Amino acid sequence: MIKVTYVAHDGTETVIEAEEGTSVMQAAVSNDVEGIVGECGGSMMCATCHCYVDEAWEARTGQRSDDEDEMLEGAASEVTERSRLSCQIKLDPSLDGLVVHLPEEQL
């Protein structure tokens, strides 16, 4: 199992464990993590799974694609260089301990 910490806008942390191959969005939705909506179910058709990858983990999660950039243009909260769609980050052992920060709003 791979551990992921979701840090809400108010600083509240939720730590979950998920199986390899699960997306950060799927793990959040399956564990009722507030702050990740995942309205489109992970098909990269919305930006309701927007997150900010913690600086310490940025290099390990890879760069966002051009399609991801386009979807993030419609995000409800500010988009930064660490913004990602959590549906596009698949968990693997190298991401055990991943920390993502959640925006103030998704819709």
* Tokens at 29, concatenated: 């939705």
- Tell me the average pLDDT across 23-45: 95
Average pLDDT, integer, range 15-30: 98
pLDDT at 68: 96
Domains and CATH numbers, the chain: 2-101 (3.10.20.30)
Question: Which H/E stretch holds residue 29?
Answer: helix 24-30
pLDDT digit string (tens) for 68-101?
A: 999 999 999 999 999 999 999 999 999 999 999 9
Give the mean model confidence (pLDDT) for residues 41-70. 95
Question: Which pLDDT does position 29 carry in this prediction?
Answer: 97
- The per-residue pLDDT for 59 is 94
Whether 107 has a pLDDT exceeding 90, the answer reads no
pLDDT of residue 67: 96
Q: For residue 49, give the DSSP letter.
A: T
Rounded mean pLDDT, 38-61: 95
13 CB-near residues (< 8 Å, 6+ apart): 5, 6, 7
